[in-house]
């Protein structure tokens, strides 16, 4: 039985490997400020980027691919959702 942390680390390794070949998924940590960090994958989808849980791939939110003025607020919302998120597995 893996702990959640082991599972995340394994997923990170797998995803990094995958990213080198496919270039679409990479796990990123959204950090900074006082809110807990969340880890997500970013998937480019036209003019926005979808952030998903790296373990169950449930979308946690999206933000502008242009990284415009709203991006900070959008990322904060993703962090809020991510911190409450529970995998459906």
**Footprint on this chain of Zn ion (rule: CB under 5 A):** 53, 55-56, 87
What is the closest distance, in whole angstroms, from the C-beta atom of residue 27 to Zn ion in the complex? 12
The set of residues, in sequence order, having a beta carbon less than 8 Å from that of 12 and lying 6+ positions away, is 27, 39, 54
Residue among 35 and 56 whose Cβ is closer to Zn ion: 56
Which of these, 88, 81, 79, lies nearest to 28 by C-alpha position?
79
Q: Would residue 46 be called left, alpha or beta, if left means φ above 0 and alpha means ψ between -120 and 50 degrees? A: left
Residue among 29 and 72 whose Cβ is closer to Zn ion: 29
What is the closest distance, in whole angstroms, from the C-beta atom of residue 66 to Zn ion in the complex? 27
Residue among 70 and 87 whose Cβ is closer to Zn ion: 87
What is the closest distance, in whole angstroms, from the C-beta atom of residue 58 to Zn ion in the complex? 5
Q: Are 24 and 15 in contact (CB under 8 A)?
A: no
């Amino acid at each position: 039985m893996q702990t959640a942390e082991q599972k995340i680390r394994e997923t990170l390794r797998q995803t990094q490997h995958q990213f080198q070949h496919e270039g679409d998924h990479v796990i990123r940590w959204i950090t900074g400020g006082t809110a807990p960090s969340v880890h997500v994958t970013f998937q480019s989808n036209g003019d926005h980027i979808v952030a998903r849980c790296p373990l169950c791939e449930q979308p946690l939110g999206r933000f502008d691919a242009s990284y415009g003025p709203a991006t900070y607020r959008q990322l904060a919302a993703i962090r809020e959702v991510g911190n409450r998120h529970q995998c459906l597995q």
